[in-house]
Structure 1
Amino acid sequence: MTVSTHARFEVTDVTPRIGCRIEADKATLLGGAKAKEIREILEQRGVIVFPEISLTDEEQIAFTHTLGTFAHEEGEGLAGKDSVYPITMDERINPIASYLKGAFFWHIDGTMSEKPILASIMSGRRLAPTGGETEFCNTYAAWDDLPEDEKKTLEGLQVVHAMWRSQLYWHPEPSYELLQQWMARGRNTLPLVWKHGSGRKSLVLGATALQVVGMDIAESEALLVRLRTWATQPQFVYRHTWKLGDMVIWDNTGTMHRALPYDHDSGRLMHRTKLEGEEAFA
């Protein structure tokens, strides 16, 4: 475990392969002087926890701007505006809450895009009495630890991703009309192994992964499930148990994540902001 301290900015690894905690005051974060260091830590560790920092929505938006380009949400009244997005199962707060049920399964955000978001920043506003933890796995480390002969067979493989695939995890028998709505989001063919501009490589997996191109459906499913099982082994995973006011950032390009089950009537509420993507899948 490594620890470094400088002017109320203390960094501590929480597991050997993924995640760290940063103890800092609001002024340090909002001033932006540590933004470059935070981004470097995020790229190396995948997940950063700011325990009980309790930023307001306005402060979270300002902090997001220090790290990169603010990614605006889609939807009525949100396009082009700096705003937090409510992550909740309460449809009175988020009318499309049902769509978020796909988040209970391992995934990468933005697999329908050429250039996925760089990172998400999420703050705990209301918590469920039990459950509702968030898990993250390091897809860089999962790739690094694969046997060399297997790496050779995986590089060059392409995988078709579809949003509707992830929705079938929680709603396996949709109406034809609902399925058509999901399918309207299209599909995207992505590399199984992402060769990043940094020179590092990571696995591109998750609930939107539909089929390996050119592979029999059963063989494809076996490979994707085996690799997901590999990438989500305990040594690659950090589970965050939320406290009110916690803020967590994760590198969407080098991790997968999922929420753990909780009572959907509990009122659990997270506020999310995002950073626009800076690198296309390659």
Structure 2
Amino acid sequence: MTTIAVEHITPRLGARIEIPADRLLDDGVPEQILATLDDRGVLLFPGINVPDDTLVALSARMGEMKPARVTADGSSQSEQGIYRIALDKREQNHLDYVRGNDYWHMDGASYPVPGKATLLKCEVPPASGGETDFANLYAAYDALPNERKRTIEGLRVIHCLETAMRRFYHAPTDEDIARWNAVFPPTEQPLVWHQKNGRTSLVIGSTATTIVGMPFESGRALLDDLLDWCTRDEFTYSHRWQKGDLVIFNNPGLLHRSRPYDEAAGRVLHRTTLAGHEAFA
């Protein structure tokens, strides 16, 4: 059986794995990848140049691949369940979706059950900008002072797409707000998420609006403070894309964001997503 070699990227987050693309589907390899993902949060396969059909097959071997419904754009990749991430889109919802990635967030905060993992491969690296940053929520929660943990236990958060979009729409129209709410209406989630694996993360990020039962400004201040804590250097890893890179990340334990870039940078990523099986609780 093929055994993968794992090299840690930072003490708290990330692992680099060197393996040929044609060995990814060998017996036992997807299972090893999944186990390492649960342990290290972010996996980098540098310059592996995985074909789309192998990306889809690996996703299916690692779990249940989610169809690209919200992000479906009629492309050949979309028909395979792959989301093409680029700024050359002309449909406004799709463009907003890509631009919204510039802020720290957890995927699936609008759903009862968020996704398990995301696989990203670099088709065209950006000429400038466009790095992807990751923050380890498990490590950040563990490092919180016990008094802060007691203070936030049991609190509930309102998440909505409008909050994220207002970061770059300074005067949204009623039509904009209706469009966002149709995709991601205000949704209540726990602030502290105790997971079945015994680990704990925080359900925060750009879609987090305020805390249920708190004055708006007090709730907003608490969320901002927690976000600042969780995205400190000791909990983060920033990935600069090179052509052919494959990155897999464990969504329930992370925040992520893309660094700003413009359409001229040419950045194109292909993404698949694995369905989750654990509800926010």
Q: 1:161 and 1:175 mapped to 2: Cα distance?
A: 20
Contact (CA 8 Å) 1:135, 1:260: kept in 2 or not?
yes
Q: Note the alpha carbon deviations across 1:48-107, whole angstroms, 9 max, x for none.
A: 0011110111111011111001111113658x9532110001015997223321100000
Percent identical residues: 38
Q: Which residue of 1 aligns with 2:22?
A: 27
Q: Which moved more, 1:26-35 or 1:199-208?
A: 26-35
The Cα of 1:174 is off from its aligned counterpart by 1.1
Q: Which residue of 2 aligns with 1:120?
A: 118
SS in 2 for 1:274: strand
Q: Which residue of 2 aligns with 1:64?
A: 59
Pairing of 1:1-282 with structure 2 (within 5 A) = 7=2, 9-74=4-69, 75=72, 82-91=80-89, 96-184=94-182, 185-282=184-281
- Letter of the structure 2 residue corresponding to residue 146 of structure 1: L
The Cα of 1:266 is off from its aligned counterpart by 2.3
Q: 1:162 and 1:232 mapped to 2: Cα distance?
A: 21
Contact (CA 8 Å) 2:2, 2:28: kept in 1 or not?
no
Unaligned runs of 5+ in 1: 1-5
Q: Note the alpha carbon deviations across 1:97-154, whole angstroms, 9 max, x for none.
A: 2332110000001111000111110000012211111000000000000011111111
Q: 1:205 to 1:95 in 2, by over 3 A?
A: closer
Using the size of structure 2 for normalisation, the TM-score is 0.93
Q: 1:269 and 1:27 mapped to 2: Cα distance?
A: 23
Q: Which moved more, 1:46-55 or 1:163-172?
A: 163-172
The Cα of 1:9 is off from its aligned counterpart by 2.1
Q: Note the alpha carbon deviations across 1:169-226, whole angstroms, 9 max, x for none.
A: 1212111111111122312111111110111111111000011000111111110000
The Cα of 1:28 is off from its aligned counterpart by 2.5
Unaligned runs of 5+ in 2: none
Q: 1:181 and 1:93 mapped to 2: Cα distance?
A: 12
Using the size of structure 1 for normalisation, the TM-score is 0.93
Q: 2:169 and 2:236 mapped to 1: Cα distance?
A: 26
What CA RMSD, in Å, does the superposition of the two structures yield over aligned residues? 1.9
Q: 1:183 and 1:26 mapped to 2: Cα distance?
A: 40
Instruction: Give the number of equivalent residue pairs.
Output: 276
- Letter of the structure 1 residue corresponding to residue 97 of structure 2: Y
Q: 2:233 and 2:263 mapped to 1: Cα distance?
A: 27
Greater percentage in helix = 2
